[in-house]
Chains A and B, each alone.
Chain A
Amino acid sequence: MTSPLQLALLLLALGFSRGLQHHYPDQADQVDGEAELELVAEPSKFGSLWPLPQKVKLSAVSLKLTGVSFQIADAKGSSAGSGCSLLQDAYRRYYEYVFGGAKRQQQPGKGRRAAGPAVLTELQVWITSPDPECDGYPGVASDESYELTVDQPYAVLKAPKVWGALHGLETFSQLVYEDEYGVKSINSTTISDFPRFAHRGILLDSARHFLPIKVILANLETMAMNKLNVFHWHITDDQSFPYLSRTFPQLSQQGAYHPYTHVYTPADVKMVVEFGRLRGIRVIPEFDTPGHTQSWGKGQTDLLTPCYSGSKPSGSFGPVNPILNTTYDFMSQFFKEISTVFPDAYVHLGGDEVDFSCWKSNPDIQTFMDQQGFGKDFSKLESFYIQKLLNIVATTQKGYMIWQEVFDNGVQLKPDAVVHVWIGGGANDEMGKVTAAGYTTILSAPWYLDYISYAQDWQKYYKVEPLSFNGTEEQKKLVIGGEACLWGEYVDATNLTPRLWPRASAVAERLWSAADVTDINDTFNRLSVHRCRMVARGIPAQPLFSSYCPREYKGV
């Protein structure tokens, strides 16, 4: 009872056009889209798997699934039982993704007997390690590997921890397709999978524009579809302070765009953290200092440096004031709160783009500089501040991430600090320098997704090779991943989701799949179907090129 692999159906009939690109103005800056027309959608031998697993063996043997009898259940030997709500929630989620909603269930025994030999009736999920980590939080060292065998009579998903099982469920859902009668089918398959990099993140900026919780959650959901595992929450910045602090409520009271409608309450934050955890996603908050803090000053007097014009304060403020003890008292209390609100082992402390002009103008700071023997070198003052801040955060038992400037300025970092490279192009010299100094690093420089341009810029993101810098094998091992950054100058809930997806999906595959997965044609084919799958799941992921999805986006 086998039927040939119907990849054409699996491909959901993508009708790409190779026609002339309509109305391409004859302006030099706009001709770079032409080469992309060579891409033609054809079925990939890997169907619509995204990101591509490390090892895939697809067979031509096709099995049917019906929502009436199919179940996702714990395997007998699994260390996680029905008390593992993280998995139970995931089973429900993926059942709905596969079948589009609840189907009337028959008695399990009956259903199976009636099923016949070519039917897949169950996916058994088997957590193999004694501690499944059901109630834990994912971390940088979490085991995300899994093995998936689709065969009769059961499909089996084996993973040491729940984190791998979550990824395996996503992969399973991506293997299911509809045959020409609309019957859900899946081919007999063996997959063994694990991520190439441990840190695969998305940065969202909720300070330049406030992002309602709903849009954050929808994007966490989409991250899970792309096996991304870090939500870097750039929660505050110059423009606004939407984080409602229990210790310092005046920060958002004064510093948010609006003290009630444009804030994240403790309950909101908890919801985001838990929603992330249930999808194997870490939530790393960023509280960027000493620059990027204009909004902090509104609710916390004496925190920012008063700028001077001549011998008088000008009324404007600069970066955090690094010479006052009150600054460090504030930071101690503030980060103590943060360490309890955000369970992740890391906090991002920022440290980028500090403007020295205000510090320079302030006579008290000049005096302090002389006392400390810093001379005129304000980067020493910056380092002085950061050093004290890092020591404060270290006492909260948290690790920290910092933007690359902190490293560049020679601040002494803890060995487990993560240096975040954002300046320059692809994998650049900075990666070499940071890793040569023995520090762990993640890459964002080539993945500033807020920089939009016409046509298929996802290819540019896809072609980045994070380890292409000059360095030893040991150095390369210090690269733990990367992040796609969607800064918020021009982004809010109205355009965030289509701008992020599927462009961030390109980054997701680069960070998950093997380094030699680089065939741009195969990628285009898989990504086209993957984006239609996101659309079918209610996510307004934008198109790659002229074409259609079987189920178009229903919103507006």
Chain B
Amino acid sequence: MYSLEGVWPLPQIFTSSIERYPLNPQAFYFGYGRQSAAQFGCSVLDAAFIRYYSLIFPDYTGNGVLRFLEDKPFHIEINVDHDDCESYPHEDSSEKYNLSVSAGKASLNAETVWGAVRGLETFSQLVYQDDFGSYFVNQTEIDDFPRFPFRGILLDTSRHFIPVHAILKTLDAMAYSKFNVFHWHIVDDPSFPYQSQTFPDLSRKGAFHPMTHIYTQSDVRRVISHARLRGIRVLPEFDSPGHTKSWGKGQSDLLTPCYSGSTPSGAFGPVNPALPSTYQFMATLLKEVSSVFPDSYIHLGGDEVNFSCWKSNPDVRAFMQKMGFGVDFTKLEAFYMENIVNITTFLNKTAIVWQDVFDYHELIPKDTVLHIWKGSPANYRKELSRMTKAGMRVLLAAPWYINHISYGQDWRNYYTVQPLNFSGTAEQKKLVIGGEVCMWGEYVDATNLTPRLWPRASAAAERLWSDEKQTSSVDKAFPRLQDFRCKLVRRGIRAEPLYVGHCKHEYQGV
């Protein structure tokens, strides 16, 4: 009936007893401790109380519930050290919390509101119902904090447009698994759905449809605000110089004209790195992006640049000569990326780039984060060693390309990844800031996103949050993840099954 480890991802330090306390929805109270820096009026926590009340009491309708005199009230008291209620979560935000559940009372202590939000999630997972529908919570003591500060999910809204409500639902589910970064791969070759204030033609001409398949500024604000309330950062990616076909439709002269022989073929390649106008455009666009997205990081892409079009273009070749690059187009790519990274530095933002940038050009600003996406475990381990040895911070995505589906329980592969199992010093290991689950969009849109993402991404969530030694057994994780998956379904998340079986409350949609 009740599993002592019914929390996903598993907290770092967790003790509980069989002593249990009844909870009555009509006598359950959230409150702020007297010492707490945050008090009523704290937007993040006030909103969290409202959300978690329904998550803790999923059956409660507000009417027809008998209240018995012997039902004692239950108070959950929150204490936070900093009043960061109106801020955004950031790379150094503490997510640590301490949760202590005793008779009639739970105390939740955290340094920040973000830690308190994590603790509320944990508390909601501790509450269970008996066969008669009564709610209980056991005596529990938890000290918890994430293993890695960066635990992300990438959604690709260019290959298919993902309606805003589907993004918001994903953010809800992310909070249930304690993910804290939404990496928004917002534009790419197939479409440019971001409606830019400065360059409205980009989406007018580059989106699948200029009216229905775009993210307006208010859509973006809504996503950022929904994420903030859940302690989730929104990291936008504007990938260049490759993956930019859709940009060219609304911004002439941005892309490189490809040549066939001595005449332009009519096709276009990557961003044209030989023109000053390119850098003016990128600076203006990134300036807008950096003011629209409050996070201090911007993802600049930089992956999979195809050189054939650059090679074909005589102006680009002339530029290569002028710059003394010879015929090494990786130098041209490096030149371009260096300029773009400098723009973000000037804008007070930290850049994240895909590993390709480092592979071609190891001399990039030291605070740039490298994002590993390629290769087998042996390959990415080598890459982790090499990059951290160079003193660079890294983010691991290679083992979590969750868009690649296969038959059976592939969550086991995502679970057994060992992000720090590479050769390197303790100092090097500290440079691994976390990991990311990537859901590329070739075959994914709102019809199948949720069941493909959940609960498979939750397997990675535990790897990135919990202690590796305590969570090394896939077989032990299985019943807990099954239980957690049913919780997600109960919360309206269309999370697919791990294997045969049933949930008490099945998904009731189509």
* Residues of A in contact with B (beta carbons under 8 Å apart): 13, 15-17, 19-23, 25-27, 30, 33, 208-210, 212, 214-215, 218, 239-240, 257-258, 261-262, 450-456, 488-495, 497-499, 535, 538-548, 550, 552-556
Given A542-B448, A543-B444, A556-B446, does the pair A20, B407 have CB atoms closer than 8 Å? no
Given A22-B188, A543-B445, A554-B163, does the pair A497, B510 have CB atoms closer than 8 Å? yes
Most chain A CB inside 10 Å of its own CB: which residue of B165, B440, B445:
B445
Is B212's CB within 8 Å of the partner chain A?
yes
Bound together, the chains give a CA A21 to CA B401 distance in angstroms of: 14
Q: List 26 A-B contacts (CB under 8 A).
A: A20-B242, A20-B306, A23-B303, A23-B304, A26-B375, A239-B500, A258-B502, A450-B407, A452-B405, A452-B407, A453-B407, A490-B496, A490-B497, A492-B507, A493-B510, A494-B451, A494-B494, A494-B507, A499-B448, A538-B510, A543-B444, A548-B445, A553-B446, A554-B165, A556-B446, A556-B450
Most chain B CB inside 10 Å of its own CB: which residue of A212, A494, A495:
A494
Total A-B residue contacts, Cβ distance less than 8 Å: 194
- A25-B404, A494-B496, A544-B443 known, 19 other contacts, Cβ within 8 Å: A19-B188, A20-B242, A214-B509, A258-B504, A454-B443, A488-B500, A489-B499, A489-B500, A490-B496, A490-B497, A490-B498, A499-B451, A540-B448, A542-B447, A542-B448, A547-B190, A547-B208, A552-B163, A552-B445
Residue pair A498, B451 in contact (C-beta under 8 Å) = yes
In the complex, chain B residues whose CB is within 8 Å of the CB of A19: 188-190, 243, 245
User: How distant is A310 from chain B, measured CB to nearest CB, in Å?
Assistant: 30
In the complex, chain A residues whose CB is within 8 Å of the CB of B191: 15, 17, 548
Question: Which residue of B304, B438, B443, B502 contacts A240 across the interface (Cβ within 8 Å)?
Answer: B502
Bound together, the chains give a CA A27 to CA B129 distance in angstroms of: 46
In the complex, chain B residues whose CB is within 8 Å of the CB of A453: 405-407
Question: Which residue of A17, A22, A494 contacts B440 across the interface (Cβ within 8 Å)?
Answer: A22
Stretch at the interface among B154-162, B255-263, B427-435: B154-162
Residue of B at shortest CB range from A539? B510
Given A210-B502, A257-B502, does the pair A25, B374 have CB atoms closer than 8 Å? yes
In the complex, chain A residues whose CB is within 8 Å of the CB of B407: 450-453, 490
Q: What is the 8 Å Cβ interface bit string for chain B, positions 139-173, against chain A (1 contact, 0 not)?
A: 00000000000000000100111010110010000
Given A17-B190, A552-B445, does the pair A23, B500 have CB atoms closer than 8 Å? no
Residue of B at shortest CB range from A491? B497
In the complex, chain A residues whose CB is within 8 Å of the CB of B404: 25, 30, 454
Question: Which residue of B303, B443, B499 contacts A455 across the interface (Cβ within 8 Å)?
Answer: B443
Is B120's CB within 8 Å of the partner chain A?
no
State the majority secondary structure of interface residues on B: loop
Is B86's CB within 8 Å of the partner chain A?
no
In the complex, chain B residues whose CB is within 8 Å of the CB of A15: 190-191, 208
Residue of A at shortest CB range from B499? A489
Given A25-B374, A556-B446, does the pair A548, B161 have CB atoms closer than 8 Å? yes
Residues of B within 8 A of A (CB-CB), count: 64
Residue pair A543, B443 in contact (C-beta under 8 Å) = yes
* Residues of B in contact with A (beta carbons under 8 Å apart): 156, 159-161, 163, 165-166, 169, 188-191, 208-209, 212-213, 242-243, 245, 303-304, 306, 373-376, 398, 401, 403-408, 438, 440-452, 489, 494-502, 504, 506-510
Given A23-B373, A25-B374, A455-B443, does the pair A552, B161 have CB atoms closer than 8 Å? yes
Residue pair B447, A535 in contact (C-beta under 8 Å) = yes
Given A17-B189, A25-B398, A548-B161, does the pair A454, B406 have CB atoms closer than 8 Å? yes
User: How distant is B359 from chain A, measured CB to nearest CB, in Å?
Assistant: 12
User: How distant is A552 from chain B, measured CB to nearest CB, in Å?
Assistant: 6
Residue pair A493, B507 in contact (C-beta under 8 Å) = yes
In the complex, chain A residues whose CB is within 8 Å of the CB of B495: 494
Residue pair B443, A545 in contact (C-beta under 8 Å) = yes
User: How distant is B471 from chain A, measured CB to nearest CB, in Å?
Assistant: 23
In the complex, chain B residues whose CB is within 8 Å of the CB of A218: 510
In the complex, chain B residues whose CB is within 8 Å of the CB of A554: 163, 165, 446
In the complex, chain B residues whose CB is within 8 Å of the CB of A493: 506-510
In the complex, chain B residues whose CB is within 8 Å of the CB of A262: 502, 506
User: How distant is B215 from chain A, measured CB to nearest CB, in Å?
Assistant: 13
In the complex, chain A residues whose CB is within 8 Å of the CB of B245: 17, 19
Residue pair A543, B160 in contact (C-beta under 8 Å) = yes
In the complex, chain A residues whose CB is within 8 Å of the CB of B169: 556
Residue pair B161, A27 in contact (C-beta under 8 Å) = no
Bound together, the chains give a CA A13 to CA B306 distance in angstroms of: 28
User: How distant is B267 from chain A, measured CB to nearest CB, in Å?
Assistant: 10
In the complex, chain B residues whose CB is within 8 Å of the CB of A535: 447
Going nearest first, the 6 A-B pairs with the smallest beta carbon separation are A19-B189, A17-B190, A495-B451, A540-B447, A498-B448, A546-B159
Residue of B at shortest CB range from A545? B442
Residue of B at shortest CB range from A453? B406
Bound together, the chains give a CA A499 to CA B497 distance in angstroms of: 13
In the complex, chain A residues whose CB is within 8 Å of the CB of B497: 209, 490-492, 494-495
In the complex, chain B residues whose CB is within 8 Å of the CB of A16: 190
Bound together, the chains give a CA A540 to CA B510 distance in angstroms of: 8
Residue pair A541, B499 in contact (C-beta under 8 Å) = no
Residue pair A495, B440 in contact (C-beta under 8 Å) = no
Bound together, the chains give a CA A550 to CA B212 distance in angstroms of: 8
Residue pair B374, A546 in contact (C-beta under 8 Å) = no
